[in-house]
Structure 1
């Protein structure tokens, strides 16, 4: 597998409250994007703590006979409680939280856990599929038929999150599992990208561009369209060579 990942604070924000990592381990890798929220840099604390804790759990795990789906669900739940306890321990962190979209990829399978409105897409030359559902106000309105996906892009309350990691104890992530089948690339990203670049455009760029150029191409596109939010992404290619950016 090959991969790239990138994070940019955008053109408006003074602080990047997103965090991202990709960690290869034996015949698998873990990719994580977290988009923090909360005042006084608390969002920055929440997203970084999430990445650090999940990275530690991944590094310390015994891959022998590991059920990766159960491991990912349990690990996200454990990290949620760590962030929640941190938020309760200091008044300046109260109310902080973060989205999370985390993927464990092997040569054959993709397992995804998520909370919030950061997204995961599977992409091939011919097609694309969003495999996460936004835990957001506009996401609920789209699912109930009250709002079109096009109108959701422009809705004034599109940043209202209904579920975020670290905001309450014992939160369960949504889980998705698939083999690569007809897809060859996985994108996980924060809404700083998807609020500025349509699904169709993501498909066109990611299916056609060289992996090495993809991160900067997508960041530049979001920034050219205003860059009001932090922009973060990781892309995993199912080919067998591992590299990073």
Structure 2
């Protein structure tokens, strides 16, 4: 499987509070994107801690995960990390109120499991479509889901950045998790809102349908986000899965 991780500060922010990475073992690829938030430097602490902690758990895995076990591993790992972040903030006053989004994908030739909390997104791209696998845990998306505003209104809503869920809060994190069966050439794209707010699905499909490398495609996505303003940090992780073309769908 081809995989790439890229993060850019953008054109406005002085600090990059995003984190993430690509982590491989002999059975699967784990892709991560976390977008930190909080007071001075607390956001980058939260996002980096999250990525470091889940990477440690990944390295301790013994054996191959099947689809159901992968979902359970993601859920339990995220709940444990949520508790660790909350405790760290309590013990470190400079990090009071810190938190982070997280979108994580375990990718194999047999299945792709995507977990998320917050408004960082996970997409699946194949030859015919761009499918958004995650629903933003945000105030504005709740208004969209209830029918109070349209998706078009949501794009420019003044409270667009208010999150209803994030890692680092007290209590349960309760991440959302979905699993699909990939097609040959399926691309998994995880990104912070610095990308998804600036590059629409048509542009994503056009770029990721190219005949060049995943690395070059990732660079193009970041370039377009910056050309459209680049007001936020821009981070993505992408994985291309090559399997026999037997079709895919929900498990």
Q: TM-score, normalised by structure 2?
A: 0.92
> Does the CA-based 8 Å contact 2:185-2:242 persist in structure 1?
no
Residue correspondence of structure 1 range 114-133 to structure 2 within 5 A: 114-133=116-135
* Count of aligned positions: 240
Q: Which residue of 2 aligns with 1:57?
A: 57
Structure 2: unaligned runs, 5 residues or longer? 244-251
Residue correspondence of structure 1 range 161-240 to structure 2 within 5 A: 161-181=163-183, 184-210=186-212, 211-239=214-242
- Measured in 2, the distance between the counterparts of 1:125 and 1:162 equals 33
Q: Which residue of 1 aligns with 2:248?
A: none
Q: Which residue of 1 aligns with 2:18?
A: 18
- Do the aligned partners of residues 48 and 24 (structure 1) sit closer, same or farther apart at CA in structure 2, a change above 3 Å counting? same
Shift of 1:146: 1.7
- Measured in 1, the distance between the counterparts of 2:165 and 2:235 equals 19
Q: Deviations over 1:164-199 (max 9, x none)?
A: 001223311111111114771110000000111112
- Do the aligned partners of residues 176 and 34 (structure 1) sit closer, same or farther apart at CA in structure 2, a change above 3 Å counting? same
- Measured in 2, the distance between the counterparts of 1:65 and 1:223 equals 37
2:90 to 88, 91, 107: 88
- Do the aligned partners of residues 20 and 137 (structure 1) sit closer, same or farther apart at CA in structure 2, a change above 3 Å counting? same
Q: Secondary structure at the match of 1:76?
A: helix
Q: Secondary structure at the match of 1:208?
A: coil
Structure 1 runs, 4 residues or longer, greater than 6 Å off = none
Structure 1: unaligned runs, 5 residues or longer? 241-245
Q: Which residue of 1 aligns with 2:109?
A: 107
User: Is 1:36 aligned with 2:36?
Assistant: yes
Shift of 1:201: 1.3
- Coordinate RMSD, CA, aligned: 1.4
- Measured in 2, the distance between the counterparts of 1:160 and 1:209 equals 38
- Measured in 2, the distance between the counterparts of 1:40 and 1:65 equals 38
Shift of 1:209: 4.9
Shift of 1:102: 0.4
Shift of 1:221: 0.6
Q: Secondary structure at the match of 1:85?
A: helix
2:136 to 134, 145, 155: 134
